Amino acid sequence: VNARAPTGVELAVVVPMDGFHYPLATLDAWPDPALARARRGAPFTFDAAAFVRCIQDLKRNGHGDVPTFDHALHDPVDGGCRVRREHAVVLVEGNYVLLPEDPWDVLVRERTYNETWFVDTSVDEAMRRVEARHVSVGRSVVEAKARADGNDRMNAELVVDTCRDVADVLIPCVDMMM
């Protein structure tokens, strides 16, 4: 959308759920920090309440700053995304934006989203892409595969099993490497 807009005009913005990961320092203060780190990316390792409040505020106000996630730092970055009133499209993306569990589900129940889409991909394809991302930020191939096959696969299975049928529209997965 932005590529087709006049020069200097930004019509759309992507709001990433990943900015709501609890920071590593927070996970390290939990009763079982090893488990918290091992399961990072699971729903309980996100500040879901803050995410919900942020999306509700954006809907109500039409603008605001949103944290993003720096995969090289492995931590969120405050204010990495700015939503402006001029944005005609605000795409909220993330694994759990349609999760039918409290508090995530309030955004669907209260129709905060105008429309919901689910990129319909197999768990295996998602894991291939996640492994590649892990390697791209400095993890070894062995470490990337172990992470993808463990925690990431469990998270992906949860998303496919619970979120797919919540979406208004299913978008077929396309291999961007073609």
79 in the same domain as 52 = yes
Q: Is 137:71 a contact under the CB 8 Å cutoff?
A: yes
CA atoms within 13 A on the CB side of 114: 8
Calculate mean pLDDT across residues 157-177: 88
Q: Is 18:96 a contact under the CB 8 Å cutoff?
A: no
- Chosen domain end from 94, 114, 134: 114
pLDDT band for position 178 (cuts 50, 70, 90): very low
**Pair of tokens at residue 107:** 């955004």
**Structural domain span for residue 170:** 118-177
27 in the same domain as 103 = yes
CA atoms within 13 A on the CB side of 131: 15
29 in the same domain as 9 = yes
pTM exceeds cut of 0.95: no
Separation of alpha carbons 153 and 84, rounded Å: 35
CA distances from 32 to 35, 55, 77 (A): 5, 30, 24
What residue ranges in the chain does DSSP mark as E strands? 12-16, 64-70, 75-83, 89-93, 117-120, 169-172
Cross-strand pairs, 92: 15
pLDDT at 24 over 70: yes
89 in the same domain as 23 = yes
pLDDT band for position 137 (cuts 50, 70, 90): confident
pLDDT in tens, 52-109: 999 999 999 999 999 999 988 889 999 999 999 999 999 999 999 999 999 999 999 9
